Amino acid sequence: MSGSFRYKVWDPPLIIAQIITMQAVYYVGLGVWIALLDLFTGHHVTLDSIFRYQELQIRESHGRAVMAAFILNSITSAVGLWKVVQRTKQCLDFSATAHFVHLIICWCYAGHLPALPSLYLLHLLTLTLMCVLGEYLCLRTEMTTIPVRPTQPKTDL
């Protein structure tokens, strides 16, 4: 513990559990946002909205709704970072991991790597929002004062 505030232990099961939990938060949040926004567009909720990059068309109302869902999901995922990861220094790692795993799953789902530059810009924006908001929330928690109760003088009566 030479000069550090927290004792750091390499704990792979904890890290893997946090990655799986953050991935679940990412997909549950995204599914909820897409389902809510699809109510306004009248589109049927399918997995294609999450995993097919062709759904992200700015010219269609459903495509704009899916893009908005990804952006709103970055807020949901930032709250997940705050509750699950709880460390400012690890927010970028977990944000990038969630987006990288999503890219791999989209690649497997579509059968080829997405080719739209707008998709990568959208994910860069959502990764940045998720990371910055998560860091902000974690930093506020880490910077809270630790209540120290002054000792009461003992009186023997």
Q: pLDDT 10s per residue in the chain (157 long)?
A: 455 555 567 789 999 999 999 999 999 999 999 999 988 888 888 888 888 888 888 888 888 889 999 999 999 999 999 999 989 999 999 999 999 999 999 999 988 888 788 889 999 999 999 999 999 999 998 888 777 776 666 666 6
Residue 3 lies in a domain: no
**Where on the phi/psi map is residue 112: left (φ > 0), alpha (ψ -120 to 50), or beta?**
beta
Residue type, 28: V
DSSP reduced 3-state for 47: coil
pLDDT for 1 equals 44
Predicted confidence at residue 157, as pLDDT, reads 60
Give the global pTM.
0.83
Dihedral sign from CA coordinates of 51, 53, 55, 61: positive
* 156 domain residue, yes or no: no
Domain count, the chain: 1
Separation CA 84–CA 141 (nearest Å):
13
H or E element, residue 4: none
CB atoms under 10 Å from CB of 103, counted, come to 16
User: What pLDDT does residue 41 have?
Assistant: 82
- Give the pLDDT of residue 154: 64
| Domain extent at residue 38 | 12-142
What pLDDT does residue 155 have?
66
The region that residue 42 occupies, defined by phi over 0 for left and psi between -120 and 50 for alpha, beta otherwise, is: left
Residue 5 resides in a domain: no
> Is the separation of the CB atoms in 74 and 124 below 8 Å?
no
Both tokens assigned to 145: 């004062």
